[in-house]
Structure 1
Amino acid sequence: MYQPILGLKGSSDRVQIDDRLQYQPTVYEFYTAASDFTTDGYKRLYDAVQYVQSRGISQIVLHHPMKFENYHSDVVAPEKYYPGLYRFIETTTEQLIRLGHDLNVQVLVHGGYSGAEVQHMVGLYPSVEAARQAVYDRLDRFKDEGGSHIMFENSIAPVFAYGHPDQEDEILAHHYRLAFDTSHCFIELHGDNAGLQRSLKHLAPDVVHYHLVDSLGQTHDSLQLGTGKINWAKVLPLLNPGATSIYEINLKDQNDCAEQMASHRYLVNLCHQLKEE
């Protein structure tokens, strides 16, 4: 069975990094922003990755920036209507892939986000299927460039969502290295634990990284484990034991990862309980 590992998330800011490193995590995931892709920002990010590596952490993930100007970084955005966003996603993904190859770290790109904005973007295509195909075409190209250094995360949107067996089969046919956000799938399924469990089991062999996050199953709430409605006792046995993971939890203070650590304690305690049963 999957054994909980300590995976923490923070920015390239040294205060945040040192806060996380005091707990000696196995995995560190960098939250990146547009500011990390200026000339100076990219150098700082590069140096920050090397700093974390110098502290003995070899499993590092670089999360593609979530936003560009007022938009989420939705790969479904057509170049014709969103030229600036389209180019931003292209150039930043290219920079991250280069960093991934140079420093032997992982790059995570979202297959989509959620909300009215992405719904509007999908509506610019002749059909939802055409929008999905545009996403697959783009991710296929990123996969070819990134190889074993890139993975793709599920959305809460009509494109690249987990929880629907037919769409999951489409995704599996592309042989992507998958990142699985538990809350995104749970929300996509409107709080259906059985559906989440089916999805976890179906996709597990192709999952290389998990975002372990609780949720009430309605909106993107990013809750501490044990405070939402996900049945973690049923989730734990379905996780790929060879994958990495982090706790992607909303923090009261970005310089203090207390909620991430509380989530880890919850999962470790639950794992002990399951072994004793």
Structure 2
Amino acid sequence: MFPYLGLKASTNQRQIDERLQYHPQVFEFFTIEADVTSDGLDHLKNMIDYVQNSGVAHVVIHHPMKFEGVHNEVSVDPNTNPKQYQFMMTSSKNLIQIAKQFGIQLLIHGGYNQPVSKIIQQFGSIQAGRKIVFERLDYFKSFGESNVMFENSISPLFDFGDSTVEQAVVEHQYRLCYDTSHGFIVLHGNNQKLQESMRRLQGQVVHYHFVDSMGQFHDSLQLGKGAIDWRPLKQVVNRRATNIFEINLKDQFNSLEMQASYDYLKNLWK
């Protein structure tokens, strides 16, 4: 029942087993560069099978965040960064195929946190950069269909809360992951605007990252520890979506902060 106990872990089986002992309804794999090598993909498939056989109904793969220490941006230029572009495209397609094979979801970030100065240096303008992002996402949407979704970023290339981006997202009919902390940061900690943004995109959101924040930078706080007003969000979420609690953990082998966030939201939204 929404909100779900949704937990996240790497492909490390010790982390996975720590999460599974609490019987989550949603499990999200946080992958890294090593997980999309030939051996890594085989291990990932074994772990997906392991999680599904444990009784978890909803499984998500989070696309690798970095390649060779640099954010794995959808907007990467194939001419100046051919290796990174090849990694982004090949890993995305391979993970989409796995998502289709297992009947699960792949999450791809529309962007990360590129500063405006770097975007303008690379593309000439934010609008030109966004055009590249939407062209790539259109490709992944066509290839992945109902097994792929796109997450909002802090970067202006794909930031929910920006009316231009949201209008384009609606027009392209993307399946979305809405990260509450990213939206809150983009909107400079404005709760009313966060509620409005989530309401506008409600029908297209299929997955949530519930995360608290002070609204200034990427802090990934436990729910109730930041400045997000969670009570009104009950009216603007898509209750047919899934969710996880994407919280920074003190210990990657103890999901305490994720579970506390679930308890907080469940009790608040009774």
- Could you tell me the TM-score, scaled by structure 1's length? 0.95
Structure 2 residue aligned with 1:110: 109
Task: Give 1:142's aligned amino acid.
Answer: F
What are structure 1's unaligned runs of at least 5 residues? 273-277
The whole-number CA distance in structure 1 between the counterparts of 2:164 and 2:87 is 31
The whole-number CA distance in structure 1 between the counterparts of 2:26 and 2:234 is 18
What are structure 2's unaligned runs of at least 5 residues? none
Structure 2 residue aligned with 1:230: 228
The whole-number CA distance in structure 2 between the counterparts of 1:98 and 1:122 is 34
The whole-number CA distance in structure 2 between the counterparts of 1:167 and 1:55 is 39
Of the candidates 185, 195, 198, which is equivalent to residue 197 of structure 1?
A: 195
Count of matched residue positions in the alignment of Structure 1 and Structure 2: 270
Structure 2 residue aligned with 1:143: 141
* CA deviation vs aligned residue, 1:51-94 (integer Å, no higher than 9, x gap): 00001112100000000012101111211111111111001101
Aligned 8 A contact 1:62 1:106 in 2: yes
Aligned 8 A contact 2:111 2:154 in 1: yes
Deviation for aligned residue 1:115: 4.1
Deviation for aligned residue 1:119: 4.6
Structure 2 residue aligned with 1:156: 154
Matched, 1:25 2:33: no
Structure 2 residue aligned with 1:275: none
Matched, 1:99 2:105: no
User: SS of the counterpart of 2:269?
Assistant: helix
Deviation for aligned residue 1:122: 4.6
The whole-number CA distance in structure 2 between the counterparts of 1:245 and 1:3 is 8
The whole-number CA distance in structure 1 between the counterparts of 2:210 and 2:14 is 23
The whole-number CA distance in structure 2 between the counterparts of 1:133 and 1:114 is 17
User: SS of the counterpart of 2:122?
Assistant: coil
Give 4+ residue runs of structure 1 displaced > 2 Å after superposition.
none
Aligned 8 A contact 1:77 1:121 in 2: no
User: SS of the counterpart of 2:76?
Assistant: coil
Aligned 8 A contact 1:78 1:121 in 2: no
Task: Give 1:69's aligned amino acid.
Answer: E
Structure 1 residue aligned with 2:125: 127
Aligned 8 A contact 2:65 2:72 in 1: yes
| Residues 122, 76 of structure 1: alpha-carbon distance in 2 compared, 3 angstrom cutoff | farther
- Could you tell me the TM-score, scaled by structure 2's length? 0.97
Deviation for aligned residue 1:225: 0.2
